[in-house]
Amino acid sequence: MIEFRSVSYAFDDVSVLEDVSLTIEDGEFCLLAGANGSGKTTLLRHCNGLLTPDSGTVLVDGTPVSDDLIAARSRVGMVFQHPRDQFVAATVGADVAFGPENLGLERAEIDRRVDAALEAVNMAGREDDRIEALSGGEQSRVAIAGALAMDPTHLVLDEPFTGLDEPARRSVLGRLAALSADGTGVLLATHDLRDVLGLADRAIAMRDGRVAVDGSPDDALGDLAGLEVRVPDR
């Protein structure tokens, strides 16, 4: 469970998050929508301590992130907007293994996690492929595998579809839905909800640093008007 309790945050005295309270349950597939600049990325970066609240608390599985940064970073897998920027190795297998290696796990456990993570994103057997030779969709899936190899309770993704074509987007979405059905909490920031609302359990939308909408996708749909979010045609 990821819990935001009255979280506020400002960059240089400019308030970006204001009194945000949210709980993301295990296995919940949760969308985070909102116009550019509404605070989505800032919120997500609190989930593993990349940012620290000015006031309020963020808890991961009951422990404040600031009390145990390593636990938070192991439990919350983060996938950023441009996966290319988050790769640390030249090949798929080496990149996905990087996180578990840093946890100091035994080689057999690392190999098991890499295999399972690649399997989960439909990239099994591609360990030796060079990342730079992969398509955008494959790179996104490798970035997700890298996060999964940490065996997280939650996956937090910031606009992971940027630059992906439709088939790649659908493929990544399908994997996220399957992972959430298997118990991984998913928090997915996107300003384009057209083909994701139907997969999600819940839709949250931010406006000016506050939670403006929070409900089931069906209920949220009507409330999203005016938030510069792309919604499905009815």
Ligand X SMILES: Nc1ncnc2c1ncn2[C@@H]1O[C@H](COP(=O)(O)OP(=O)(O)OP(=O)(O)O)[C@@H](O)[C@H]1O
Asked if 46 touches ligand X (CB under 6 A), the answer is no
**Does residue 210 touch ligand X according to CB under 6 A?**
no
Distances (CA, A) of 19 to 7, 112, 134, 198, 220: 5, 41, 41, 29, 21
Is 41 a binder of ligand X (CB under 6 A)?
yes
Smallest distance from the beta carbon of 96 to ligand X, in angstroms? Answer: 26
Q: How far apart are CB 227 and ligand X at their closest, in Å?
A: 11
Is residue 48 close enough to count as binding ligand X by CB under 6 A?
A: no
Helix (H) or strand (E) holding 156: strand 154-158
Secondary structure of residue 167 in the 3-state scheme: helix
Beta carbon of residue 122, minimum distance to ligand X (angstroms, whole number):
27
Q: Which of 7, 20, 39, 164 binds ligand X (CB under 6 A)?
A: 39
Stretch in the footprint of ligand X (CB under 6 A) among 39-47, 89-97, 102-110, 163-171: 39-47
How many other CB atoms sit within 10 Å of the CB of residue 12?
5
Look-up: residue for tokens 């308030």? Answer: 15
Sheet bearing 154-158, strands edge to edge? 76-79, 154-158, 185-189, 29-34, 202-207, 210-215
Closest to ligand X by CB, 36 vs 108, is 36
Pairwise CA distance, residues 113 & 102, whole Å: 13
Name the one range near ligand X by CB under 6 A: 40-48, 66-74, 113-121, 126-134: 40-48
Which spans of this chain sit near ligand X (rule: CB under 6 A)?
11-12, 16, 34, 36-42, 191
